[in-house]
């Protein structure tokens, strides 16, 4: 016998989902009367009001106006300015010219012309002669995306940045753009603690975890990866694990025909043509000198080609980070990108080969990603070239301190002596960092110091008595 509480809970949940789905299709907003009229189920006004209030309280819907003028908007497509007015995010992202180019999407799919893959779109591009990203924008993005004021050698991305935040933000936002309903908090709990969100489909959980694996692969192999078929195949393999019905299709050019929902675009279905064009995209991408031009180029053409059975857009979003990671720029996490705007920009590429809307979105999204990282750096001070440069020395000196059982004045003398013998600059700073790290040592983080848990615990007991 089904319990009454469970039945009521399921009914409330299905009603909220239905309301959210309806509102999400109307970025310009709906009145309560319009919502009631268009819902596929019967609901009275008071109940509808309660459901809407719950959705607003939980931050899933935006509202503006009072009484009869009240309208409800999808959260991801809107924001509220300081006057309490709704502002469409798409209007802030896209230039007037881009918005004009997107007007063709106002027509329903059945009234738009069917189009096929245009080979001249890729063939006409001449690396370092053709430019999707104008030179002035390249310079602006480069200035904004520098992780550090000082230039560092290539291959230091993982070492200069604790990329846990990137794992969370990019996994969350890329999954969200696919319609995944995991919240940012749910994503963080899953990736940090392995706790999946209640009521979430297993497919959504797998999607988030696959993003973590793929991002880790890119960052931990920052100098081995490249815009070549080996890297892209493996990236697709990680992102599609347990999500594609045919496991043999993971990391391989597709052998079946695919279609694009809500679009008149029909991708190529010939496997040999797909392979040839896939290689052409990567060959041209590798020749591009500017990392932002590379990034934008790969975002566009991997999405447009649809070389795999599924997971093409996810692959393109992560692949566009390869040039940024390899060159120590801030990664593109797609923070705050509205799903509606992203899809519209993609459809402009699919059906018109128009890149301007996506370029607007790319620049806006990159700026948001950099802003978020900058705040993180300022609040956590994660990035300090000196700390990175002296990390091995600190591990060595801390290992000596524990191994030889140094405490108090003898401990500080040893650090000073070590700095002198190695001619380390800023010895006072080295001393301060080392003493702080010694205070935070525990059995879980002594790996790499060359000491046993027994040696550490013995040293720690004496150190506590000396304080």
Same domain assignment for residues 366 and 400: no
Q: What is the pLDDT of residue 89?
A: 56
Enter the pTM of the model.
0.65
Report the pLDDT averaged over residues 215-230: 90
Within-domain flag for 448: yes
Interval 104-128: pLDDT, tens: 998 999 999 999 999 999 999 999 9
Coil, strand, or helix at residue 192? helix
Q: Which residue has the higher pLDDT, 388 or 269?
A: 269
Partnered with residue 74 across adjacent β-strands are 61
CATH number at residue 323: 1.10.3290.10
Kindly list the distances between the CA atom of residue 226 and the CA atoms of 103, 218, 291, 294, 415, in Å, as whole numbers in the listed order.
Answer: 37, 9, 12, 11, 42
- 234-240 LR contacts (CB < 8 Å, sep 24+): 235/315, 235/318, 235/319, 236/308, 236/311, 236/315, 238/210, 238/213, 238/214, 239/210, 239/211, 239/214, 239/311, 239/314, 239/315, 239/318, 240/210, 240/308, 240/310, 240/311
DSSP 329: B
- In angstroms, the CA 154 to CA 413 distance is 36
Helix axes 291-305 and 135-145, enclosed angle (nearest 10): 100
Interval 337-348: pLDDT, tens: 999 899 999 999
**Strand runs labelled E in 258-298:** 265-266
Q: Which of 141-145, 196-200, 316-320: highest mean pLDDT?
A: 316-320
Residues in the chain: 467
Give the closest residue to 206 by CA, choosing from 226, 234, 178: 178
Average pLDDT in the chain: 85
Cβ proximity of 296 and 133 under 8 Å: yes
Tokens describing residue 382: 């994660």
Tokens 């550090």 belong to 148
Same domain assignment for residues 141 and 110: yes
Same domain assignment for residues 103 and 123: yes
Concatenate the DSSP letters of all residues of 102-151 into one string.
Answer: GGGGGS-GGGSPPEE--HHHHHT--BTTB-SS-HHHHHHHHHHHBS-SS-
Within-domain flag for 385: no
In this predicted structure, the answer to whether residue 84 has a pLDDT above a threshold of 70 is no
- In angstroms, the CA 102 to CA 348 distance is 7
Same domain assignment for residues 116 and 183: yes
Q: What is the pLDDT of residue 94?
A: 92
Q: Which residue has the higher pLDDT, 188 or 119?
A: 119
Q: Using 50, 70 and 90 to split pLDDT, how confident is the model at 141?
A: very high
Same domain assignment for residues 353 and 402: no
In this predicted structure, the answer to whether residue 416 has a pLDDT above a threshold of 60 is yes
Q: Using 50, 70 and 90 to split pLDDT, how confident is the model at 413?
A: very high
CB-based contacts of 455: which residues, under 8 Å, 6+ apart? 402, 403
Kindly list the distances between the CA atom of residue 181 and the CA atoms of 172, 174, 200, 203, 340, in Å, as whole numbers in the listed order.
Answer: 9, 11, 8, 11, 15
Within-domain flag for 291: yes
Question: Which of 360, 380, 400 is the last residue in one of the domains?
Answer: 380
Same domain assignment for residues 185 and 311: yes
**CA angle 178-184-190, nearest 5°?**
90
Within-domain flag for 241: yes
Q: Which of 72-76, 314-318, 455-459: highest mean pLDDT?
A: 314-318
In this predicted structure, the answer to whether residue 322 has a pLDDT above a threshold of 90 is yes
Same domain assignment for residues 400 and 351: no
Q: Which residue has the higher pLDDT, 276 or 368?
A: 276
Same domain assignment for residues 109 and 43: no
Cβ proximity of 320 and 298 under 8 Å: yes
Report the pLDDT averaged over residues 291-299: 98
Report the pLDDT averaged over residues 270-297: 96
Same domain assignment for residues 236 and 352: yes
Within-domain flag for 100: yes
Within-domain flag for 328: yes
Report the pLDDT averaged over residues 330-336: 91
Concatenate the DSSP letters of all residues of 342-364 into one string.
Answer: HHHHHHHHHHH---HHHHHHHHH
Same domain assignment for residues 76 and 133: no
Based on the structure, what is the number of domains in the chain? Answer: 3
CATH number at residue 59: 1.10.10.10
Question: Which of 334, 360, 380 is the last residue in one of the domains?
Answer: 380
In this predicted structure, the answer to whether residue 149 has a pLDDT above a threshold of 80 is no
Tokens describing residue 340: 């509606």
Kindly list the distances between the CA atom of residue 112 and the CA atoms of 71, 86, 259, 352, in Å, as whole numbers in the listed order.
Answer: 30, 30, 15, 11
Q: What is the pLDDT of residue 375?
A: 64
Residue 119 CB neighbour total at 10 angstroms: 13
Task: Give me the domain span that covers residue 66.
Answer: 4-87
Q: Using 50, 70 and 90 to split pLDDT, how confident is the model at 158?
A: low
Same domain assignment for residues 104 and 82: no
**Percent of the chain topping pLDDT 70:** 85
Q: Using 50, 70 and 90 to split pLDDT, how confident is the model at 157?
A: low
Tokens describing residue 467: 């304080």
Within-domain flag for 226: yes
Residue 208 CB neighbour total at 10 angstroms: 23
Same domain assignment for residues 173 and 82: no
Q: Using 50, 70 and 90 to split pLDDT, how confident is the model at 352?
A: very high
Cβ proximity of 240 and 307 under 8 Å: no
Within-domain flag for 83: yes
Report the pLDDT averaged over residues 382-409: 87
Tokens describing residue 237: 């393999």
Question: Which of 38, 70, 87 is the last residue in one of the domains?
Answer: 87
Interval 27-83: pLDDT, tens: 778 888 899 989 888 888 888 988 888 787 666 777 776 666 688 887 655 544 444
Q: What is the pLDDT of residue 269?
A: 92
DSSP 188: H
């Amino acid at each position: 016998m089904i319990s009454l509480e469970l039945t009521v809970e399921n009914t409330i949940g299905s009603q909220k989902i239905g309301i959210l789905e309806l509102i999400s299709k109307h970025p310009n907003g709906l009145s309560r009367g319009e919502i009631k009229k268009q819902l596929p189920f019967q609901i009275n006004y008071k109940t509808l009001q309660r459901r809407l209030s719950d959705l607003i309280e939980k931050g899933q819907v935006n509202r503006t106006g009072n009484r009869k003028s009240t309208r409800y908007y999808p959260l991801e497509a809107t924001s509220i300015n300081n006057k309490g007015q709704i502002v469409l995010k798409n209007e802030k992202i896209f230039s007037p010219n881009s918005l004009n180019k997107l007007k063709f999407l106002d027509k329903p799919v059945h009234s738009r012309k069917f189009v096929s893959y245009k080979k001249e779109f890729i063939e006409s591009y001449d690396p370092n002669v053709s430019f999707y990203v104008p030179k002035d924008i390249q310079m602006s993005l480069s200035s904004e995306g520098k992780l550090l004021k000082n230039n560092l050698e290539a291959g230091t991305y993982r070492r200069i940045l604790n990329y846990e935040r990137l794992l969370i933000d990019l996994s969350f936002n890329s999954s969200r753009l696919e319609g995944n309903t995991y919240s940012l908090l749910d994503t963080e709990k899953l990736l940090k603690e392995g706790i999946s969100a209640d009521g979430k489909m297993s497919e959504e959980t797998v999607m988030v975890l696959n993003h973590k694996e793929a991002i880790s692969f890119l960052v931990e192999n920052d100098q081995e990866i490249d815009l070549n078929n080996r890297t892209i195949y493996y990236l697709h393999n990680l992102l599609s694990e347990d999500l594609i019905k045919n496991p043999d299709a993971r990391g391989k050019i597709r052998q079946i025909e695919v279609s694009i929902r809500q679009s008149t675009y029909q991708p190529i279905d010939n496997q040999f043509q797909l392979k040839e064009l896939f290689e052409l995209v990567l060959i041209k991408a590798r020749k591009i000198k500017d990392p932002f031009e590379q990034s934008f180029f790969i975002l566009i053409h991997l999405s447009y080609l649809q070389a795999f059975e599924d997971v093409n857009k996810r692959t393109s979003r992560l692949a566009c980070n390869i040039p940024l990671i390899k060159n120590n720029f801030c990664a593109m996490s797609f923070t705050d990108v509205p799903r509606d705007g992203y899809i519209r920009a993609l459809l402009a590429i699919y059906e018109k080969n128009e890149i301007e809307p996506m370029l607007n979105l790319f620049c806006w999204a990159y700026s948001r990603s950099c802003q978020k990282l900058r705040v993180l750096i300022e609040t956590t001070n994660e990035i300090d070239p000196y700390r990175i440069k002296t990390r091995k020395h600190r591990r060595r000196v801390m290992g000596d301190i524990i191994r030889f059982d140094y405490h108090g004045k003898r401990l500080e003398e040893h650090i000073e002596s070590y700095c002198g013998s190695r001619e380390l600059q800023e010895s006072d700073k080295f001393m301060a960092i080392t003493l702080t790290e010694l205070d935070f040592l525990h059995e879980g983080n002594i790996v790499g110091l060359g000491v046993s848990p027994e040696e550490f615990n013995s040293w720690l007991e004496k150190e506590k008595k000396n304080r």
